[in-house]
Amino acid sequence: MTDPELVEKKLAFIETCVAELRTLAHPEQLHDDVREARFVQHTLQLAVQAALDVASHIVSDERLGEPRTNRELFELLETRWTLPKELAETLGRMVGFRNIVVHGYEAVDLDIVSDIVAHRLDHLLSFVAFVRSRLQNGRA
C-alpha cells in the first residue's frame, strides 16, 4: 500500500521547489551568472528527483510493473494509473534533463533550463495535483 505521508512529504517538496524557482530564480541571468545557473539547475534537479521518488514509490507499492529506466516510471503511471499521456511525456523529458545535470553526460543547455522555468513548472504541479487526487479518492 502506498504510504500517503511519505508521498505527501515529497509532493510538498516539489511545491516548495517550484515556489522557490518562481520567486527566487532569474532565468534571464543564467548565461551570465554561474551561481544563478547552478541554483536553478539544482533546484530543478531536486524537484524532478522528488517526482521520480513519488513515481517509484507508487509503481512499487501498487505493483504496476518493473521499469527498466526512470522514464518508464511515468510511462507505467500513464498506462496503469491513468496519468495523462502529455504529462507523462513531459515528466519523462524532465528525467532526461535531470540525468544530464546529475551525471554530467553533456553540458547543460541553459536555454532548455530557461524554458523549463518559464513553461514547464506547471507540469510538476499538475503531477502533484494528480497524485493527491488519486490518493484522496482512495485509488492508490
| Phi, psi (rounded to 5 degrees) for 109 | -80, 110
Which domains are seen in the chain, by residue range?
Answer: 4-136 (1.20.120.580)
The distance in angstroms from the start CA to the end CA of the chain is: 8
The pLDDT tens digits for 6-51 are: 999 999 999 999 999 999 999 999 999 999 999 999 999 999 999 9
Q: What is the pLDDT of residue 139?
A: 58
Residue recorded with cell 532565468: 27
- Calculated CA dihedral for residues 85, 58, 46, 78, nearest 10 degrees: -10
Rounded distance between C-alpha atoms, residue 73 and residue 89, angstroms: 11
Concatenating the DSSP letter of every residue in 48-117 gives HHHHHHHHHHHHHHTT----SSHHHHHHHHHHHH---HHHHHHHHHHHHHHHHHHH-SS---HHHHHHHH
The pLDDT tens digits for 79-124 are: 999 999 999 999 999 999 999 999 886 789 999 999 999 999 999 9
Rounded distance between C-alpha atoms, residue 55 and residue 28, angstroms: 32
Rounded distance between C-alpha atoms, residue 115 and residue 109, angstroms: 10
- Report residue 140's pLDDT band, with 50, 70 and 90 as the boundaries: low
pTM: predicted TM-score of the whole model, two decimal places = 0.94
Q: What is the pLDDT of residue 93?
A: 94
The pLDDT tens digits for 42-90 are: 999 999 999 999 999 999 999 999 999 999 999 999 999 999 999 999 9
Q: What is the pLDDT of residue 110?
A: 94
